[in-house]
Every structure is written in structure tokens, then in C-alpha cells.
Amino acid sequence: MTSLEQRRAAAQEQQRRATTLPAPLFVQACPGAGKTRVIVDRHLAAAGGRRGRAVVSFTNVACDEVTRRCRDAGRPHLADFPNFVGTIDSFLWRYLVRPFLSSDRTWNRIDSWERIGATVDVWDGRRKHILRLSDFQWTRAPGAEHCRAQLQFRTKNAAAYKILESLRMLDAAAERAVRRRNALAKQGHITGHEARILALRGLSQHRRDVTSILTGRFAEVVIDEAQDCSALDLAILAELRDAGIPLVFVCDPDQAIYEFRGALPDRVRSFGLTLGVRVDLVGNWRSSPAICALAATLRPAPSRTADDPVGPSHDERGGVVLIRGSEALGEEILNVFNEYAQARGIALEQRLVLAHAAAKLPGGVRNTAVMPPDNHSARAEWAARVLVSDTVTPAQRETACEILERTILRYWFTDAEVENRTVTTACEQLGVDRSRLRRQAGRMADALSTPGETPSADWCKAANTYLKTTPPIPGMSRRSHTGSLQARTSTTRTAKGTSSAGSPASPRPRASVVHQVKGEEADAVLVIVPSDNRADDLIRAWQSGVHPAETAESLRVLYVAATRARRLLAIALPNAHCDDIAAHLEAANVSCEIINVETYVPVTVGNP
């Protein structure tokens, strides 16, 4: 058997080639392969010329990591002019969109329609349905004249969706949404989707100018997390490639989890191969052998070779822990996970709980999730908690502050005066001092922060009482009563998945939806596989290695979640599927252990 030193040397040689080979270059990296290190080393090695380098990623986590490593290397200037380190949305906006927009209006770049509370009214003949533009899936093929919308069925719009579906009005709702989106775009609101459309248009109409801007500024453009490229992104990159812009395309196609945007692994691979030289990074410096082996079982059958564990966890002996139990036993599942992590000496801050959707997280940790909930009152409570937390990111804090600012405005003004515009625009139109409003939001968070998972009637009552004393314009009268906060139910009950009698509350590790932890890692990870009608198809595809289109992305989401783990991976599975997956893993020589939460006897091991 090849020694660990030889395997590490081979992995380091792969990294060296990815660092030194000239662009254009296609780098395909497994989880934990050190691709961020490769990007930073490449950046450090070639720095100092007249031109800089653009390092573009789909995640703020990756951008922050590149910036931090440049700073740690004593060269913080490498994140500044003439270089660029930022998200792809920022890159497209700065170099391909904003220079070619007219100066006859104010342009607002927003991350989603949710940022401005954009809605559309749909009349079904008897009643009006108010739908959020963020409830629609937006697509536009490269070169198409118009975009398309499709209303997505979600809990918050279930009633409206079912009525419109029964009346065969979903297409009509989509048409109204497109018209509303077009009107907002003409007003100057630009989401990432609109920015990509404008970028393609700019490349078509101003190709020479765009090429001159980019080649004059950058020696090469590095695209990190490139598996998240949509069809529009790939079309833009193809234009840049054909214009002679040197590209370094870094990706793991098995981590493509934005299929709704057209991010498909085969398209990503095909584009990468057009760049010519390819380097594969298959040495995993993050995960244990058992975790690497399990991750391989989640790939399609032709590519199920396990990555090589060469990092500090290469000799971790523990296997994967399969926890058999329904979602209703969320507290018990957390107890098992925490106890196993504690037994391995893994600190609470190095534990992470993940699910595909926030609603599927155990109730006890759902309030630590990264993304705000959909319900208006729940969003306000989430924001109040985030603003007084010491463990949130600047982006989360900004989102939370805007939510509370909008909450205050909605309480005092009509929806028509507040929605479908940014907070900044609303303040300008309403004569509200934005800096004063922001201070009010901060004071509201200090006064109302609560550890509760969902807003109770008492919390909403206290919040409304506070809002009543906080007019955004001194001395103003309230113009509408639609903005009051309301609890979802009027009775107090135990939330699904929270602690039940006889089950002591478990320590609360950080929790998140999978899409928000791309690029992150933790010593111990608990993944929740929900008990819903899609579980049967997901389990069948996992076992067979045949990934049909309707199931493939769910498996890739599970793959991303599992590969965040360094030392301990626990997967909570529905009762009906736990034994099948255990047998499948055993056949693949993946070490695993089954724990039944209904019969598990907790063992006290001291403080968490």
C-alpha cells in the first residue's frame, strides 16, 4: 500500500500543477481538496505585475477566505485594486453591467425580490391573491427575448396556489409576475437574474469595450465554485472565453445544487473541457476515511471512486452514525448527535446541524438557522435575535437590520407605500430619516430579543406595543393597521421537534440549510433526511447509483451536507429507510453504526 507520505506528495503535486499551469485551465476538485489554497497560492505567486487578477466566487464564505489568507500572508493589498475578490454578482455588475446603464434613473442592485418585498396581485374572478415575486422560479434561455416565471408551491402560498391551480390560472399568474418584474426592472431594480441578462446584452452590444476593460485590468479571471454556474453564467463565460479572456475554472460538479438556475453538472463539465488543460484534485485534506467513502456512494455509479483522505483526519477510526427516528423526535436526535460528538472531544462550536429546508431542522435549533423565515412576524423575531447575537456574519446582520426597518415602516405606513421598493427608496419617498430608522431597529432588537423558536402571542403583543411608541417620523399618525405582528396560533403548544416531557434539552449546535454552508466545514455534522414523499425516490437513487433528473439534485444536496464533516458524520434517517441504507453502506465497505432514538439510553459524559 502506498504510504501516507506518498499519497500526500501526490495530492500536493496536483495542487502545484493547478497553481502553476497557465490559463485557460480547468480544475476539478473533490471536497476538502484545498482548492481555496490553490487559488490563493496562484494569486500570491503571480502578483506584482501591472495587471491584477479577478477571483470570483458564488459564496461570500469563499471570498472572505481568500481575503483572509492574503492578509495572513502579509499581502492584504492583493484583495484590492488592481485585483478583484468578490462574488460573481458583484463582478458582473461592476464590469459588465453598470458601465453600460443609462444615467436617467437610480439603479438598485438587490440580491432578490424579497429585498424590496416585491409582490404581484392576481385576481381569480372572486378574490385577489397577493403573491411574492420571490415565490416564482425565473428562467431565461441565453438569447431569448423574454424571461419566464413559474409559481412554486410552498407552505406560505399553498392556499393561493391550490385555488389558482384548480382554476387553471397558474399561467396567468406567471404572466402577471413577468409584467410586474419588467415594471420593477424599468424602475431600476436589478436582481442577479436581471444583471446576467444585461451582462449578455452588454457583451453583445459593447463586446470591444468589455474586452478592453477586462484585459486592461486583469491578467486572468478565476471562477471558484463554478459548479454553481447557471445557463446564463456559462453563456457569459463562453463570451469571455471567446473574446480571449484567460479563465481558470474551478469546480466540483457533484456539488451543483442550484438546478433551478440551470446549474447542471454535465453542462459545467462540458464547459470546463473547452478550456483545454484539466487538473483533478482528489486528495481530501478534510474528511475521515468513512466520510470520504460515504460521499462516494452519493455520486452517480460511474464516478463512485472514493477520494483519498490525506489530512489530519486520515486515521479517524469512527464510522458514520445512522440515527433511526422520525422528525418528531428532533430533541432525541440532537441528544444522540451531541453525545457522540462529546465522546470524541468535539466542542459545541464545531458541531453543525444541516437540512435541505429550514422547516426540516429540529425545532430546538431551527432558530439558529442562517436564513430568515418566510412569515412576517417570524422574520421580525428572527431579525431581533440576530442583531444581538455575537456569532452572525455581517451579511446576516445587514439582512436582519433591513427586516426590522421594514417591520417598523409596515407598522406605520400602508403596504402600498412600503412594498416593492428598497428601504432606502421607501425612506426617501416617505420623508423618513434612514439613519434614525436604523437606530430604531437596533433599539427594537435590544428590547425584544428572545430565544424562542417561533413568535408567541406574548412576543408579538410586546413587539406591537414597542412599535406603537416608535414612529419613524416624530409625531406622525399610523396610516394602516395591516402591519401589526401576529402569532401563527393563539394557543401555546410544543413545536414539532422540540423537547418533550422526559427528554432534557440538548445543547444547541449551530444549524443551517445546506445551501448556506457551501465552502464551510465542521468537526461534527448532523444531516437530517426528512420523512416526506420524496424520501423513497432519494433512497432508491442513492442505492442504485442511477440518478434520475427529478432526484439528482437532492442527492447532491445530501453530498454537500455530508462532505462538510471532518471527523464525525451523523445522518438522521426515516425509520423505513435506515436499515436499507446501512446495508448499502456495508456493501460499499463504509463503516457505520445504527442508533434507534426510541430505545437509546443517554449516557452522561460531563459538560458539552
Mean pLDDT along residues 101-106: 86
When pLDDT is cut at 50, 70 and 90, the band that residue 498 belongs to is very low
Across the chain, what does the average pLDDT equal? 86
What pLDDT digit, counting tens, does each position of 168-178 carry?
999 999 999 99
Pairing outcome for strands 320-324 and 308-309 = unpaired
For residue 276, pLDDT beyond 60: yes
User: Please, is 381 exposed, middle or buried when counting C-beta atoms within 10 Å of its C-beta (0-12, 13-18, 19+)?
Assistant: buried
For residue 374, pLDDT beyond 90: no
Mean pLDDT along residues 527-539: 85
Does 468 show up as a binding residue in the annotation? no
| Number of continuous H segments (helices) and E segments (strands) in the chain | 22, 20
Rounded Cα distance, 332 and 570, in Å = 13
User: Which range in 291-295, 369-373, 590-594 is most confidently predicted, on average pLDDT?
Assistant: 291-295
Does 262 show up as a binding residue in the annotation? no
For residue 545, pLDDT beyond 50: yes
Of 290-294, 348-352, 505-509, 588-592, the least confident: 505-509
Q: Which three cell numbers stand for residue 56?
A: 470570483
Q: Which three cell numbers stand for residue 89?
A: 454578482
Q: Find out whether 60 and 82 touch, Cβ atoms under 8 Å.
A: no
Contacts made by residues 135-141, CB under 8 angstroms, sequence distance 24+: 136/174, 136/177, 137/260, 138/181, 138/193, 139/262, 140/193, 140/197, 140/232, 141/231
For residue 499, pLDDT beyond 50: no
Q: Please report which residue ranges of 502-597 form alpha helices under DSSP H.
A: 535-544, 549-562, 575-587
User: Please, is 104 exposed, middle or buried when counting C-beta atoms within 10 Å of its C-beta (0-12, 13-18, 19+)?
Assistant: exposed
At residue 440, the pLDDT reads: 92
Q: Where are the domains of the chain?
A: 4-98+195-284, 112-186, 291-367+497-596, 376-468
For residue 462, pLDDT beyond 50: yes
Q: Which three cell numbers stand for residue 390?
A: 455575537
Does 31 show up as a binding residue in the annotation? yes
What pLDDT digit, counting tens, does each position of 468-492 carry?
998 999 989 998 888 888 876 543 3
Its CATH architecture, for the domain 291-367+497-596, is 3-Layer(aba) Sandwich (3.40)
Rounded Cα distance, 292 and 339, in Å = 23
Mean pLDDT along residues 500-505: 44
What pLDDT digit, counting tens, does each position of 325-371 carry?
876 678 889 989 999 999 999 999 899 999 988 778 876 665 555 56
Does 475 show up as a binding residue in the annotation? no
Q: How far is CA 189 from CA 80, 106, 173, 182, 466, in A?
A: 27, 9, 21, 10, 32
Rounded Cα distance, 249 and 259, in Å = 19
Q: Which amino acid is at 24?
A: P
Q: Find out whether 395 and 538 touch, Cβ atoms under 8 Å.
A: no
- pTM for the whole structure: 0.80
HSE-up (13 A, CA, CB side) for residue 225:
23
4-98+195-284 matches 291-367+497-596 in fold = yes
For residue 605, pLDDT beyond 60: no
Using the structure block, give the residue that is written with the C-alpha cell 466542542. Answer: 347
Distance, CA of 555 to chain centre: 16
For residue 319, pLDDT beyond 60: yes
At residue 370, the pLDDT reads: 59
Does 29 show up as a binding residue in the annotation? yes
Q: Which three cell numbers stand for residue 68?
A: 483572509
Does 35 show up as a binding residue in the annotation? yes
Mean pLDDT along residues 560-565: 96
User: Please, is 91 exposed, middle or buried when counting C-beta atoms within 10 Å of its C-beta (0-12, 13-18, 19+)?
Assistant: buried
What pLDDT digit, counting tens, does each position of 49-62 carry?
788 999 999 877 78
What pLDDT digit, counting tens, does each position of 196-233 carry?
989 998 898 898 999 999 999 999 999 999 999 988 89
Using the structure block, give the residue that is written with the C-alpha cell 438557522. Answer: 369
Mean pLDDT along residues 150-171: 88
Using the structure block, give the residue that is written with the C-alpha cell 484585459. Answer: 215
Fold of domain 4-98+195-284: Rossmann fold (3.40.50)
Rounded Cα distance, 548 and 513, in Å = 23
